[in-house]
Structure 1
Amino acid sequence: MGSSVTDMIAHARTQVRNLTVAEAAQALEDGRPTLVDLREPGEVEREGHIPGAVLAPRGMLEFWADPSSAYHRAEFDPASPTVLYCASGGRSALAALALQELGYTDVAHLDGGLAAWKQQGRPVTFQQPDGA
């Protein structure tokens, strides 16, 4: 029997940098890494997003992040710090691993995702995110 998605996420978490809410908030305060919200537009509309996030639905991430892709977007730079998040941390762990495979050298994900961020009383906004 093959791996399950749970196994894939667990493996990804062993291969990428997992940031706590406090670590992610500090990184945003210190250096303004590119913060990427991987959730679908409907999720963002319902739940809001972390201020300053770039919206990049998970299905488009590799296309937008790969500098050699015809769909590359300027806000994605393999040499710049990048922090990814989703609803609970699964998609962002997988996506962080994918960006590492694309040559991103300073990529991390928010462990626990937006749910953990909100649970700790961190700010969210319902304004249209960058890149939407």
Structure 2
Amino acid sequence: MKTAHDLVTAAKSHIQEIPLDLAQSDILRADILIDVREKDEFLNGHIAGAVHIPRGLLEFKLSATPEFGTRDLNIVLYCKSGGRAALCALALQEMGYLKVSSIAGGIDAWVESGRAVVKPEIIAFE
């Protein structure tokens, strides 16, 4: 029986992972940067310009959104440490997307290296 670690390891052998030192330039060239973490994780801080689409909804959102129908979009994915993004990258490749990559080490590595994250302002109406 395979573990989650086994699935991630297998996925990483079939996808392109972006080394952290090249991540910023790849993000700038991307058509879309997708954060595949859960909503609370995204709200606690994300890479500027990222679109939030949780892992469980990714294939459905991309399939249902005409702007994402083009299979030659340059897509960069990330999660907390790289596992979920690797699984998502493999799934998108299987859907026919040609230019998919994930950031090695995820947002944890991004933050550890001193790179900035943004947090959305939550407005309370009282």
Global fold match (TM > 0.5): yes
**What does 1:1-132 correspond to in 2, within 5 Å?**
2-29=1-28, 31-46=29-44, 48-66=45-63, 71-72=64-65, 74-75=67-68, 77-127=70-120
Structure 1 unaligned blocks of 5 or more: none
Amino acid at match of 1:40: E
Q: SS of the counterpart of 1:15? A: coil
Is the CA contact 1:39–1:56 (under 8 Å) kept in the aligned structure 2?
A: yes
Alignment RMSD, CA only?
1.5
1:73 CA displacement: 5.5
In structure 1, how many angstroms separate the alpha carbons of the residues matched to 2:3 and 2:109? Answer: 24
Q: Give the 3-state SS of the residue equivalent to 2:60 in structure 1.
A: helix
TM-score (norm 1): 0.85
Query: Aligned pair in 2 of structure 1 residues 119, 87: CA closer, same or farther (>3 Å)?
Result: same
Aligned residues: 121
Larger radius of gyration: 2
The runs of 5 or more residues in structure 2 that have no matched partner are: 122-126
Q: CA–CA distance in 2 between the matches of 1:51 and 1:23?
A: 16
Identity among equivalent positions (%) equals 38
